[in-house]
Structure 1
Amino acid sequence: MQPEYGNLLADVPAGAAQEIFEPLLERPGLHIERIVSNGQASPEGFWYDSPEAEWVLLVSGSAAIEIEGQPGQHVMKPGDWLHLPAHCHHRVAWTDAAQPSVWLAVHHSAA
């Protein structure tokens, strides 16, 4: 088995029309991905409802997450992280339109 490596900030696409999801590591019960946002947000009325828990770190840019049942927006800046339990309804309220927002997302089994 060979080691795997990369750079989370290499070749960050700027100005993409859609968010870009890039798998970095997949194992049973674990999925790590880089997400690049360029001003995207969740569609109005859309809520994520994942059967897996998700830990997310904002590496660059800025963004805000709305969590169902919680007031306001959870505004994030580089270095901020958030852990969302499985089936925690959430949505991306906005991401920085002036620069790419790079996320490191770790999806894991809820158990």
Structure 2
Amino acid sequence: MKNMLNDIPAQLPNELYTDLINGKNFRVERIVSQGHSSPENFWYDQEEHEWVLILQGDAELLLEGENKPRKLNVGDHLNIPAHCKHRVISTSSSPKTIWLAIFYQ
């Protein structure tokens, strides 16, 4: 048995992505962020839908067309449709932000 909150390095120069399950039309991933954000002027534009849940820490996401970032705290979740451009504005450093992400067709 594994624990989503374990096996995390003390310092993360880059976000840590861990595939948990891969299926034909979906994948489940743990993402760990430590004060990370999207590069300036960078927007994610993904082929898949993405559902995210904050397990620890917090984050701010901005979806294209919205004027104000969405603040996500522990327990908050959000579904991002495919090709909905979005960016990570901020993530907490302490505690680190731990996301559960499900990508699906």
Compute the TM-score of the two structures, normalised by the length of structure 1: 0.91
Gaps of 5+ in 1: none
Q: Which among 81, 88, 93 is matched to residue 85 of structure 1?
A: 81
Are 2:35 and 1:6 aligned?
A: no
Considering only CA atoms, is the larger Rg found in Structure 1 or Structure 2? 1
- Cα distance in 2, alignment partners of residues 74 and 15 from structure 1: 26
CA RMSD after TM alignment: 0.9
Q: Look up the match of 1:52.
A: 48
Q: How many residues align?
A: 105
Mapping for residues 25-40 of structure 1, pairs under 5 Å: 25-40=21-36
Q: In structure 2, what residue type is equivalent to 1:30?
A: F
Could you report, residue by residue, the CA deviation over 1:34-67 in whole angstroms, capped at 9, with x for unpaired residues?
0000000000100000010000001001110000
- Cα distance in 2, alignment partners of residues 12 and 68 from structure 1: 31
Gaps of 5+ in 2: none
Q: In structure 2, what residue type is equivalent to 1:102?
A: I
CA contact (8 A) 1:14 1:99 kept: no
In the TM superposition, what is the alpha-carbon distance from 1:10 to its structure 2 partner? Answer: 1.5
Runs of 4+ in 1 over 6 A off after TM superposition: none
Compute the TM-score of the two structures, normalised by the length of structure 2: 0.96
